[in-house]
Structures are given as structure tokens and as C-alpha cells.
Structure 1
Amino acid sequence: MGHWRDLFRIDRGRTHHRLQVERRRLLPAYIADHTQPSDASKEIAKVALKLKYQIEQVVSCEVEEGLLTDPNSHIITDDVVKTSKDAGGEEYAASVVYCLLVCLRWFQIQASNELWDADLHEVRAVACEVIAKRIIESEPNQDYLLKDILLKRYSIFTEGVETGPANVIERSVDLHALRIISSAGYQKCIHYLWCGWICQEEGNPTNFVEYHGKSDTNYWSHFHPDRMRTPLYQNICQIMFSLLYLALYTAVINTVNPTGDLDVAEGILYGMTLAFICDEAIKFWKVGWNYLEFWNAFNSTLYALLAISFILRVVALAHSPSEHDEQRQLFNKLSYNFLAFSGPMFWMRMMLYLDSFRFFGAMFVVLRVMMKESLIFFALLFVVLAGFFQAFIGMAQVDSDIPVSFTRPIIQGMANSIMQSPEFETFQDFAFPFGIILYYIFNFIIMIVLLNILIALYNSAYEDISSNATDEYMAIFAQKTMQFVRAPDENVFIPPFNLIEILCLVLPFEWWMSREGYAKLNDIVMGIIYSPLLVLTAWLESYQANQIRWNRRHGEEDEDNRQEWEFVAEDVDFDLDDAWKEEVKQSTPDIKANSTTVEIRELKEQVAALTELVKSLSQGKEGAA
């Protein structure tokens, strides 16, 4: 954990308008050495400017997005894609896709600043995605695609400084470039990262290398604590500990101790809570405000409730153990009430770790977009509530017949209206007739106007996401993968094991041991605590190694799994069946051309044949004459 801080770098000095259009980073970039010197950064910036100029010329006016995304687009043609690939020359050819993402961000900035041309710039941003996707999918060399195009980090020189290094995988997630994320090559790279087939180089986390042991069938070569850096295994650990956390909470809340004493289950529950709090605090300290998002705030709220419950329990224990001590009983009840109040959050917390499954991942995308859309509703609701609440309070102060403590009924009546259960009786004689009239107006605005706006926003968000749910799921899966590999701890201690790291390694050893000795000590401790899981992962990887070797012997990709039709295909060779191949060729339509184009082509062929016939007849007459 101590060495992890050296791996981070938080981008600073960015202008305000860039922060508005650029999606915040999942985790900051490394502070480690850049992937190329400043001269290379300047050259890559020039490549990005070349591509920006090209896209501005290709998309010179506003067009429909479908004309660009169509596979047979007459705007983004093969020649346009080839010109883009040539923008980097031989030396910087691998940086073209990264530069297209830079251009994508530039066009987003222009769309934010130049509202009169926002549609044009947004379409140009789409063109950047389309060209980048076609370059990725047309690259035949897989090693070159993964290591140089997608995973190699690049920087550009702008505003007199060099930007933090980043690769295409990271920038696509940051910019939510769905078309690039959904490309086949990109998803293959994410799969390799998720399974640990591509990992960060030892001692140089900015460089990604292939895990050479993936084809090693020796069981013990995979039994190593460094394999716990694999996102798949970390995700499994998190799910297991979350289930244990939920089981402990269920046991604690169903076995209330009237005396207020702490039992074993409660001790483990609060100990795990402390581990989660330490993990969140350390990440926030290292990353800063960019680390905050919905799930972080959700988890922090849950941990705060549990911390309050624990503090109240300690306060109760400080009082006399007598059953007749009212203060002890009071604090004990409050402690359990806070613990019970957090019950829904314990179950909802499980959703954070289930988004790697397709069903839950697509659903969470819809929920997240709905929550963002609801911000408009809550902003309007706050203004309306403030105005009407002030009006009702003013009437209560003016009317001497109204009790002074009428504030609570006012708040309760307004809250019930929001929940579509208005209380007209409360306001029937309230500053008559102003109170009841104002309450009717309030209910009309809340129940007819604002709630229908919220329903419309939810409906719009659901339609937008559900129609593109697969791509959105792939994006959230890529985001989850990058959270594990983008800036990992050198020593992976998943909570609650981070308490072992803090108390048994960092405090007593890190400050005086050498880096090599401390790393070896961490490997020993990790090997012990993760040994039950490593037994399974080593068996799984050795089994996969046998499959990989089989695939390589048959000329298949490492991740290839034989399907049922492939077993049948062994007895069929279409290269020898010329008759069937010719029949298929004759009946296969040209999907790149519509019916009008086909008819025009046939007409041109007929006109050409007719022209040749006329020429031959003319030449025959001249010869006869």
C-alpha cells in the first residue's frame, strides 16, 4: 500500500471548460515515466491536428448521424479511413486511434463552447469514433493491435505542457466512446485484461505485457500471489466478502443482545466495516475528489451509519451493566436502530459487485441514467417546496388561531403530496381560504406537472439505454476492468485483508525494510491468506493452459472454444465443392448497394453492350461500303 502512492498522478491545471466536457477519470494516471519523450508528444499532437483537419473537411456540414455510422457510408469511405491511418506515418502509425480520441474530445469541447455549431461538432465527434472503430477492426496483426494501438500510452503536448500518458482503452472509457468500446478488437483486449492474460509489467506498471504462463500446464507455476492482480479473481473475492458481510449483518440483526454486549458476529461485522472505511479513505486520499461517484457516496453513507451504531454501542457499554440502567438501554436501542436502518443498504450494496454479469450490468446502466435524469426533477422540486413552505409558514405566523407547533403538520402534508397521498383535511381551515387554495395549487404542480415530468424523463432514459443496452453493458464492464488494472496496488490486499496489511506489514516493516525485502514479505503473507483461492485459480489456469495449447496446435485463437457446428464442419470442405460455391456466389446479393444502385449498374452494362453493338454495326457498314 505504501508504494502505491508513487503510481498515481492527478492531472492539474486543466481549464474549467475542459472539465465540463471530459468525463472524469475512473482513477488517475500513473506518475511513472511517460511512454515517449516530449518531442514525440509534439509529433503526436501534430498527428491529432492533421486528423482534426481531415474530419473537418470530410464532415463539412451537418449530416444525420446514420449517414456516418452506416457500414456502407458514402462519407466515411475506405479511402477516408486509409487517409486517417496514414496521418501518423510509419513512426506514429500506432497512435492514430489515440489521436482520434483526442480529436473526439476537442470536438466535444467545441460543441460545449460553440453552441451555434454544437450539432456539427457532435457529428464530427461521431466521425472520430467511426473511423477509430474501423481502424481497430481492420487491423490484422493482433499483437500490434493490443500492445501498440490499444494498450500503449501516449501523450500530447498542449498549452506548453505534456499531458498525462493514457492509452486507447482508458480514454475510450473516460469519454464513453461506445462505438470504439463495442469493437471486436477492443473487447478482446478487455477480455485478456479481465482474465489476466495481459498484465502490467513487474516494476513498470505503465507497460502492459502478455502473461507468458497462460500456456504453462504446470499447476504450481500458477500458484503465485501475483495472480491476485487479475481483475476476475479480485471481483470474485469482493463478491465473496460482500456475501459474508451480508450474512454477518443478517446474523447480528436477528440476534439482538438486550444487555448490549458485543458478540463475535458483531465484532467481525464492525471489523470488516473498519476495513472498508480504511480502503475508501486511502483511495480518496490518493485520488482526490475525482474518486467520488454514486457508489462511493452510497458506501460511505452505509459505513457512516454503522460507525454511529458502533459508537453508540461503546457508549452503552461505558454505562453500568445493570439491566435497570436506563442510559445503557437507551444507547443500546439507538445502536440497534441505526443498525436496522441500514438494512436496505446492505442488500443494495450487492448490486455494486454484480454488474459484471450481463443482466445486472444492463439494468444498472438504466438505473444510473434514470438517477441522473431525476436531478432535473429534484432541482425543480426543491424550488417549488421552498416557495410553498415559506408561504405556509408565513400564514401560520399571521393567523393567531393556528398553533405555533404547526410546522410539523405542514412538512408532513407537503411530503405526503409528493408521495401522492395529500392531506386536505390538515389545510381545510388553515388561514381560510388561502391555505386550502394554496395547497390545491401545490398538489397540482407536484402531482400533475412535476411527477409527470419525472415519468417522461424516466421513459426517455429507458428508451435511450434499452435500445443500446449491449453496448452500454460492454462500456460498464470495460470501466469495471479498468478500475482494477488502471492504477492497482502493488500488493493486492482486498478488504478486510487490508487491515492485515496496515497493522502487520505497513506500520511495523515498510518504513525500515528494503523495497525488495518488503515485496518478498508481502508475497509470503499474500500467499498464505489467498491460498484457498489460489488452489482453485491455479487449477483453472492449468486447465485453460491445456485448452490454449490445443487451440494453438489447430491454428485457433487462444480464447477459442469449439462450438457444436465446428465438430460437424470437420467432415465438410467447401473448397472442394465448387458447384455449391458457384451456386452460392450467383445467388448472394451485394449488400453494399441498394436496389437503385443495382438497377443503375445493370442499366450501365446494357448501355455499354448496346454501344458496342452499335459500333460494330457501324464498322460493318463502313467496311461494306
Structure 2
Amino acid sequence: MGLWNSFFARRMPSVNSLHVEGRRLLPTYSTDSVSPGLPAREVTKVALRLKYQIEQVIPCELDESSITNPNSSIITNDVKRTAEAAGGEEYRSCVVFCLLVCSRWFKLQAIDELWDAGLLQCRAIACEVIAKQIIESEKDENWLMKEALLKRYSILRKGEETDPMNVVERAVDMHALRVLGSSGYQKCIKYLWRGWFVQDDEDPSRFIEYEDKDNTDYWTHLNPDRMRVPMYQNVLLIFFSLLYLGLYTAVINTVNPSGDIDVAEGLLYTMTLSYLLDELNKIMKIGRYYIGFWNVFNFTLYTLLAVSFVLRMVALGHSSNVDDTERQHFNQLSYDFLAFAAPMFWMRLLLFLDTYRFFGAMLVVLKVMMKESLIFFALLFVVLVGFLQAFIGMDNTDFDIPVTGKIIQGMANTIMQSPNFEDFEGFAPPFGIILYYIFNFVVMIILLNILIALYNTSYEDISGNADDEFMALFSGRTLQFVRAPDENVFIPPFNLIEIFCLILPFEWWMKPAIYERLNNYVMGVLYSPLLVITASIETREARRIQWNRHCGEADDNIHQEWEELAADVDFDATGSDDWGKIVHKTKPNVEVPTTLLEIRELKDQVRALTESIRALEARQEQSVVNGELGNGATS
């Protein structure tokens, strides 16, 4: 069943996260304190209306390109306008959210009804395509971001309201690439990344604008609360990761023969403790949904360093005499564990560089390849167990030559494409060598080529859609900061200060208002070097925002060089230039296929010809009538 689900997930990438209604990356609020923006019953009714519409629009299985084509004859403007009207004027803001709900419903149904999986997948795609078109066609960007994308809604599930979620969160959790890649969605993510939209402290169900983003006063931006901005948190994480790597490099290249812990090594183990506590804190608050590839990777690295530290403490427990072999042994073992973690230290940097497009796209490819590897390792495990049991059975028949270790080593060498046939030539002849040849054929020819084919398919799928995949990764990274589990941002290793200097001695007895003020003072001191820089950056951004507003542009508009003389050559203005008229006359109609245009032209010609013939017939009939009347008068 696991193999089938893994295979089926390749056709529907977001199926893996569909079994939970409110799956979250880093929830920042308690569901008891958050109320949805609209009544859950009414939102569910809107979703049901949209589901019915999609079922009528997509009555049978269609080619995916016919649905996703920008000039699709299926997802037309009329279909989009009908979907927008599903909520009426009162519930219009939840339409995009309900389309994602319908997409999830269709994908869940596709898992249960495999015979209609193709049809249901087409309907799920149609939901995302319509949602993307609605987002990109909305002219009021402020309403789009605040009401449609960032306001949280719930639906009824088994008679109970689900946890409130917004479109930004749901699209990331469902990996809805078409919605994630829409212009309005990415603009909203950009505003969240820069801290221009922040979560309201009084009402966690909604986001509000950062009211001082256009304030040019430097001291206004020198505020510890601005450390909640994802962009600044990401910069700090990269800085401390480089510092962490630098400390490790210094420690591993300056071995202490005496076994004493120097300053660099003490700082390294202190930072390791902070990172380990941060991971444990998030796992306790979020649960199993927080555990992913990088969490397991980091936890393995921190475990190796913890073992190294424990061994160092054991060594320090022995005599400081140079001739103490036990102390030297544990010191050497501690450094061996430390050196063993070197590749993981450097690979860890990739986790914090995924906000850059080059590293982000590469990490997406690696992530998908690792998922595809599960199919290979599942098949390999079954094959290994079968052949290992056969070899051990042959080994048990010969009581004089125990070769179990060589059997395992030989099978491991085969997996690494370095088989050793000599060890099996004299093993239970002729069965041992024949079985080993068969094992090599199955593993090296069949299974490894399956793995290569899976990797190739994954790379083609991701590389062909690299931009949307990177935008999805960037959106997920932004939400990890926005959904931070703590209101007070203490990035490791500063979380040690929070735990031992604030939480343990003060939080349990101090009034919340006073404790919050104390946290702000401590954060102001800790982050003061960065706040000095960020305040300067935000002051400069405020001047640009004011200039954009003065020019009637969006706050995030960047003035391009070709816009310098754009006002002097307005080709759309009436009577300003003939160039605009010439272009409009000669431009092709890309919205309608050429064949359809020719058919329409032919229909117009046939219609004109038909009208001409009818007019001619009418004149002939009138002439005949007039002739008969003339003859009658003469008589």
C-alpha cells in the first residue's frame, strides 16, 4: 500500500498532505482564540456550489493542457465569473479559499475512487486554474490580500468547524503550484516577507498593514518588534549558521592533545544546545507534522555533537596525566565523532540558502529525488531479505566455515556496484555463486536502473517547472517565520537567554504586560546591531514608498529605466501618435486560434452571401409582382 501511495503521489503531488484538514508548518496561534472571518456553514455552502459547478464544467476526463491553456475553451471568462458569483457579494472573499477546498475534496475522492482518478484530477486542476485566474484578474490588490488571501476561514467537517486557515497557508500546505505561482499570491508573500503585512496582536485571525512602512523617521523603525519580519530572521539564521560553521572549523583544525575544552569548543557545544532545544521546542508545540527531512538531518547532526560532548566529559573525568590511555582514548573518540559530522555541517548551509533561486530549485529536485528513493529502497529491502535468508541458510549447512560477515559485506558491495565474486565461488557450490549472480543481476541491472529512471523523471518534472517550485519553496519558508510558535523572537543561540534568563526566573510569576515589556527590552539589546541596519533600510524604503504613492504607483513598484520617457510616448492616448493605431491594426489575435478565426471569417462571408442571395430573390419576386400588376392594368 505504501508503494502504491508513493506512485500515485507522483501523479498528484499534493496527495500526501491531504489526509489532515488543518495541517500547519508552524502554527502561531491557539485555535481557541481564533475565529473564522465568515460563518463556517456559509463558507461550506459556497464550496458545495463551486464543487457542483466544476462537476458540470468537467463532465468527463480531458487532456490537462485543454484546462490549463490560457485560451482554454473550457475554463472561459464566463466560467470564472460564475465561480466568482458563487459567494454573492457578502461571501465573495472566500471564493478562492473554497476553490482550494474543492481541489482537496476532488483529490481525496481520487484516492478512494481510482477508477475515476483521471476525471477527478482534471476537476482538481480546474479548481486551481480558476483560483489563479480570479487572483490575477482582481484589480483591488488591497482587498485581494487582506480579505481573499490572508483572512482565515473554516468549513464544517463531520459537524465541527475546522481550524481557521487562509489561502496563503492552505496553498502552501496543499502544494498548489498554480495558485502559488500567481502574481497576486506572490505579491502577498513579498509583503509578508518584508514585514509590510503583520499578524494582528489583538485578532490573530487577520493580518494588518505595517502602518509605519511609509514613515521616514529613523527612530520609528528602531523597534524590536520588527525582528518578526521573515527577511530579518532569515538573515540572522544565515549569519549564525556561518558562525556555527566557523566555530566547527576552528575546533576540528585545532585539536587539544590535553583534552581540555577551549573557548571555540565551548561556544560550539553551547550553540549546539541552543539548536537542539529549539528543535525540541518546535516538535513539542507542533507535533509530528513538523518532522521532515531537514529536521531529521539537523537532529542527527546535533546528536553526533552531543555524543562528542559526552565523550569529552568522560575523558575529563579521568586523570589529566599525559600517560592516561583512557583519557586519550575518549578524547580521540570524541574528535572522531566531531570529524564524522563535517559533511553534515556544510550540507546544513543549504537549508538556509533556499531563499535564493539557484539553491532553492536544486533543493526541490533533491527533495523529490529522496521521496522517489523510497520506492527503490522498499523494493531493495524485500530483495535483500530474500537473498540474505537464502545465503544464511546455505551458510548454516556448513558448520565449519561461518561466512555470515562476508555474505553481508558482499551484498553491500553489490549495492555499491562493486561485487566480489571470489568470496562466493567456494560457497555451497554451485548454488552460492549462481544465487550471487542472480542477486547482482536483480540489484545492478533492474533495481538500480529503476532508481535512475525515477531520478530522471523527477528531475524533468521539477526542472520543467522550476520557477513555480521555487516560489512554492519560498512561500513555505516565509510562512515558517510568519507562523512562528512564539510571539517573542529569540533565534538560536539567543533562545538560551530566553529560557534561562526570562522564562525560568520571570514568566511563571510576572504579569503578562510587564513580562512582554521585559522581553522587548532584552530583544532590543540583543538585536541592536541588526536593528540599526534594518532601521536604515526601512527608512530608505519609506522614502521610495512615498515617491511611488506620489506617482500613483504601488508601494513595491521599482522604477525601471525604460519608464523614464514613458509619459512622453503614450501610445494609448487618442491623437498622440499614429504608431499605436498601426500596432493595433497589425497585431495578431493570440487569444483565438488561427483556424477558429478563419472559420469565423468564412461564416461571416457565408452569412453575407446568404443575405445577398435573399435580397436578390426578394427583388426578383417584387419585379414579378410588379410585372403582373402592370399587365392587369393594361388589360
Residues 22 and 162, structure 2, Cα contact 8 Å, conserved in 1? no
Asked if residue 564 in structure 1 is aligned to residue 561 in structure 2, the reply is yes
Q: How far is the alpha carbon of 1:617 from its aligned partner?
A: 3.4
Residues 29 and 485, structure 2, Cα contact 8 Å, conserved in 1? no
Structure 1 segment 20-35 matched on structure 2, within 5 A:
20=19, 24-28=23-27, 30-31=29-30, 32-35=32-35
Unaligned runs of 5+ residues in structure 1 are 1-15
Amino acid at match of 1:35: S
Structure 1 segment 451-600 matched on structure 2, within 5 A:
451-574=448-571, 575=573, 576-600=575-599
Structure 1 segment 212-227 matched on structure 2, within 5 A:
212-227=211-226
**SS of alignment partner, residue 199 of structure 2:** strand
Residues 282 and 485, structure 2, Cα contact 8 Å, conserved in 1? no
Q: 2:129 matched to which residue of 1? A: 130
Q: How far is the alpha carbon of 1:156 from its aligned partner?
A: 0.9
Q: How far is the alpha carbon of 1:291 from its aligned partner?
A: 1.1
Residues 319 and 327, structure 1, Cα contact 8 Å, conserved in 2? yes
Structure 1 segment 146-157 matched on structure 2, within 5 A:
146-157=145-156
1:203-226 deviations in Å (ceiling 9; x for gaps): 333320001111111111111110
**SS of alignment partner, residue 568 of structure 2:** coil
C-alpha distance in 2, partners of 1:599/1:88?
39
The number of residues matched between the two structures is 607
Q: 1:100 matched to which residue of 2? A: 99
* Structure number, greater radius of gyration: 2
Residues 22 and 174, structure 1, Cα contact 8 Å, conserved in 2? no
- What's the Cα RMSD here? 1.7
C-alpha distance in 1, partners of 2:35/2:576?
52
Residues 17 and 23, structure 2, Cα contact 8 Å, conserved in 1? no
Residues 29 and 165, structure 1, Cα contact 8 Å, conserved in 2? no
C-alpha distance in 2, partners of 1:583/1:92?
44
The two structures have a TM-score, normalised by structure 2, of 0.93
Q: How far is the alpha carbon of 1:20 from its aligned partner?
A: 3.9
Percent same amino acid at aligned positions?
A: 62
1:45-95 deviations in Å (ceiling 9; x for gaps): 111111111111111111111111111111111111111111111111100
Residues 21 and 162, structure 2, Cα contact 8 Å, conserved in 1? no
C-alpha distance in 2, partners of 1:354/1:263?
30
Rate the CA distance shift 1:186–1:17 in 2: closer, same or farther, 3 A.
closer
**SS of alignment partner, residue 214 of structure 1:** coil
Q: 2:198 matched to which residue of 1? A: 199
Q: 1:9 matched to which residue of 2? A: none
Structure 1 segment 316-335 matched on structure 2, within 5 A:
316-335=315-334
C-alpha distance in 2, partners of 1:379/1:128?
34
Residues 152 and 165, structure 2, Cα contact 8 Å, conserved in 1? yes
The two structures have a TM-score, normalised by structure 1, of 0.95
C-alpha distance in 1, partners of 2:381/2:149?
45
Q: 2:3 matched to which residue of 1? A: none
Asked if residue 450 in structure 1 is aligned to residue 450 in structure 2, the reply is no
Unaligned runs of 5+ residues in structure 2 are 1-14, 627-635
Residues 551 and 557, structure 1, Cα contact 8 Å, conserved in 2? yes
Amino acid at match of 2:415: I
Residues 22 and 105, structure 1, Cα contact 8 Å, conserved in 2? no
1:72-122 deviations in Å (ceiling 9; x for gaps): 111111111111111111111100111111111111110011111111111
C-alpha distance in 2, partners of 1:608/1:589?
24
C-alpha distance in 1, partners of 2:269/2:311?
13
Q: 1:6 matched to which residue of 2? A: none
Q: How far is the alpha carbon of 1:19 from its aligned partner?
A: 5.5
**SS of alignment partner, residue 320 of structure 2:** coil
C-alpha distance in 2, partners of 1:452/1:50?
47
Q: 2:419 matched to which residue of 1? A: 422
Match of 2:433 among 424, 431, 436: 436
1:449-508 deviations in Å (ceiling 9; x for gaps): 110010000001111111111100000110111111024411000000000000110111
Asked if residue 366 in structure 1 is aligned to residue 365 in structure 2, the reply is yes
C-alpha distance in 1, partners of 2:489/2:44?
36
Structure 1 stretch displaced more, 19-28 or 324-333: 19-28
Residues 22 and 163, structure 2, Cα contact 8 Å, conserved in 1? no
Residues 18 and 104, structure 2, Cα contact 8 Å, conserved in 1? no
Q: 1:343 matched to which residue of 2? A: 342
Rate the CA distance shift 1:22–1:45 in 2: closer, same or farther, 3 A.
closer
1:573-598 deviations in Å (ceiling 9; x for gaps): 21243421221111111112112111
Structure 1 stretch displaced more, 429-438 or 255-264: 429-438
